[in-house]
Amino acid sequence: MKTQYRCTDCGLTFKLEPNLMVCPSCSKGQKPDEPLVGVLEVEYEGKIEADFQIIDFLPVEKEFFPPIPVGNTPLWEPKNLRSQLGFSNLYFKDDSSNPTSSFKDRASYLVSAFAKKHGINEIVLASTGNAGSSMAGIGAAQGQDITIFLPKAAPPAKLIQAQQYGAKVILVDGNYDRAFDFSLAYSKVKGGMNRNTAYNPMTIEGKKTVSLEVFKDLGCAPDYVFVSTGDGCILAGVYKGYKDLLKMGLIESIPIIYSVQSEGSDALYRAFNSKDGKFVNTPTATIADSICVDVPRNGYHALKQLKEFGGKVITVADVDIIKAQKDLSTSTGLFTEPAGATAYAGFLKAMNELPKDATIVVMTTGNGLKDVATASKGVDPLPTPINSINEI
Ligand SMILES: *Cc1c(COP(=O)(O)O)cnc(C)c1O
């Protein structure tokens, strides 16, 4: 299929090139502490039939992808939870079963292939933890050199995971936003492909595959999708998948998407509810580290999509996230990290406004084992070890 980039702000089109990240004209006005302007989306011309393969719907040929099985994650049908809550068509799309245990593999996979196609062997990025460990793992499979900028407070499991895969890990004395700026500065000086979320158009494009898979599994689009949101890149990816399906005439409408944020990191929620749609840069803090961002990098674009397609933004408190994580583990056997459980906490908060027979997909985006320190807050501490079963 014929492909091109289209700027989500001005509508100008460009050729797909490895050194083109954001719209050259719109990004001239980019301020350092605001969301990205001039985010590019891949546009397709041609025809796709309902029995398409996911690869048919991606802008890089099969031979450039690394040999690591990304995507095709399971769609759970939680029987007990369905009857307990009364939602007969509730599903979980569990992306913790990706090779590096998070949703981020969808983006890393396409970025890796795109870099390979253009003979680029170094990839640089900033991450709260998952994007880094993901790019490290996918890069290991492809044989690429990966350099990661991580905030010093990143959960140890994610950091060590990235080191295990052989990536160069640089800890930043600051938060994710600072790591983002450092990584941009580094790749400008040292070269390599930058995989920063939303900045590299292949991140949104790779993430869209989740919607294509859900469509293939259900045979239609769901009515509602719940997704946790930090930078708003997964959100945009989810929309992109359904937009592509709509354009090809395979679905009739875009699902209602609920973007769920933590109350402690709710920049998109505040912008969504403000009159001018402006993002205010305030320091954030949440136990859901994967969605802890001061400035959502894909904020403007995410906001535009939500407004255009009737999406919603809701927030949940950290205590509700911890509780939702434990409830989900106990009622379904699906143990997801706090950012993954945030989408479920959002569903629990919003469910009274949803029809009971609606088809609802809640996305769980990362594995619970990635941050056991937070997971331990949801369970009782164990008593002292026993010496006899009479002590139980
Ligand atoms: C990155 C991430 C998110 C949020 O994605 P954004 O594109 O930043 O909104 C949610 N959950 C997990 C587990 C993640 O790693």
pLDDT beyond 90 at 310: yes
pLDDT of residue 115: 98
Is 75-98+205-378 a domain of CATH 3.40.50.1100? Answer: yes
Mutate to test the pocket of ligand 1, among 96, 259, 291 (most ligand atoms within 8 A of CB): 291
The token pair that represents 373 in the structure block: 């320190």
pLDDT of residue 255: 98
Cα 304 to middle of ligand 1, angstroms: 19
pLDDT of residue 210: 98
DSSP H or E segment with residue 314? strand 312-316
pLDDT of residue 172: 95
pLDDT, mean of residues 125-131? 93
How many whole angstroms separate alpha carbon 119 and alpha carbon 101? 27
pLDDT, mean of residues 227-232? 97
Would you place residue 236 in the very low, low, confident or very high pLDDT band (cuts 50, 70, 90)? Answer: very high
pLDDT of residue 177: 86
Backbone Cα Rg of the chain = 20
Mutate to test the pocket of ligand 1, among 234, 313, 325 (most ligand atoms within 8 A of CB): 234
**Comparing 5-9, 154-158, 309-313, which segment has the lowest mean pLDDT?**
154-158
- With a CB cutoff of 8 Å and minimum separation 6, the contacts of 278 are 271
pLDDT of residue 222: 98
pLDDT of residue 41: 98
The reply to whether ligand 1 has any atom less than 6 angstroms from the CB of 238 is: no
The reply to whether ligand 1 has any atom less than 6 angstroms from the CB of 290 is: yes
The reply to whether ligand 1 has any atom less than 6 angstroms from the CB of 291 is: yes
pLDDT, mean of residues 92-108? 98
Would you place residue 1 in the very low, low, confident or very high pLDDT band (cuts 50, 70, 90)? Answer: confident
Q: Taking a C-beta distance cutoff of 8 angstroms, is the pair 35, 298 a contact?
A: yes
Short-list 308, 125, 281, CA closest to 199: 125
Domain ranges of the chain: 75-98+205-378
DSSP H or E segment with residue 235? helix 233-247
Q: Taking a C-beta distance cutoff of 8 angstroms, is the pair 256, 227 a contact?
A: no
pLDDT of residue 104: 98
Cα 233 to middle of ligand 1, angstroms: 8
The reply to whether ligand 1 has any atom less than 6 angstroms from the CB of 108 is: no
The reply to whether ligand 1 has any atom less than 6 angstroms from the CB of 337 is: yes
CA-angle at 332, arms to 331 and 334, nearest 5° = 125
Other C-beta atoms lying within 10 Å of the C-beta of residue 329? 17
pLDDT, mean of residues 319-338? 98
Would you place residue 154 in the very low, low, confident or very high pLDDT band (cuts 50, 70, 90)? Answer: confident
Would you place residue 190 in the very low, low, confident or very high pLDDT band (cuts 50, 70, 90)? Answer: very high
The reply to whether ligand 1 has any atom less than 6 angstroms from the CB of 230 is: yes
pLDDT beyond 90 at 164: yes
pLDDT beyond 90 at 124: yes
CA-angle at 280, arms to 342 and 176, nearest 5° = 55
pLDDT of residue 319: 98
* Per-residue pLDDT tens digits for 243-292: 999 999 999 999 999 999 999 999 999 999 999 999 999 889 999 989 99
* Per-residue pLDDT tens digits for 241-253: 999 999 999 999 9
Cα 331 to middle of ligand 1, angstroms: 23
With 0-12 / 13-18 / 19 or more C-beta atoms within 10 angstroms meaning exposed / middle / buried, residue 168 is middle
> What's the chain's average pLDDT?
96
The more confidently predicted of residues 157 and 32 is 157
pLDDT, mean of residues 68-86? 98
pLDDT, mean of residues 195-216? 97
pLDDT of residue 55: 93
The reply to whether ligand 1 has any atom less than 6 angstroms from the CB of 203 is: no
pLDDT beyond 90 at 33: no
The reply to whether ligand 1 has any atom less than 6 angstroms from the CB of 105 is: no
pLDDT of residue 361: 98
The reply to whether ligand 1 has any atom less than 6 angstroms from the CB of 364 is: no
